[in-house]
Structure 1
Amino acid sequence: MTNTNAEANSKKMVAGICGILLGALGVHKFVLGYTKEGLIMLLVSVLTCGFASPVMGVIGLVEGIMYLTKSDEEFYTTYMAAEKGWF
């Protein structure tokens, strides 16, 4: 396993679990280095006093599942090399 694959696997696991558990706060975006997208999710959840949190939570849940179901190589290509911020 190369260093790139090891890094992709560890980030994939952490981002996937954070997306599922803390998706409304955008923690999984920060793990991947997507600061702008993470701030958008966090601010939408906080500034709406939690009313939009369920929507952000569903987005985080879907993204977390997508992260965990991709192979390490596909995850690296899509989210780390190409820096695809949403879905």
Structure 2
Amino acid sequence: MTKHTLSATTKMEPNGRVMIPALIRKRLNIEPGVRFVIFIKNDQLVLADEQKEKLKAWENLRKKNSKYRWKPGEKMLSEELIEDRKKEAIREGYV
């Protein structure tokens, strides 16, 4: 373990509850009512803050889709749609 690693031992109760030791809660500033996401990664159970996981997911999605984002100097899709609708209205005699 590195000097930044903190470990504690806990056990699962018969009803499935697992207590997070106070030392860990204090170190991570975990307050009552915090929601968690539980998942398995590399055959390890991972307990992660739900809000932080959502932010990470959005950031990953943003990075993955950055090639589809609008870039300065390009025409926005909304502008193209408005132009198309105007042309269509003129063709159909509404303007």
Return the index of the structure with the highest Cα Rg.
2
**Larger strand proportion of the pair:** 2
Q: RCO (CA 8 Å, sep 6+): is it higher in 1 or 2?
A: 1
More helix, by proportion: 1
TM-score w.r.t. length of structure 1: 0.25
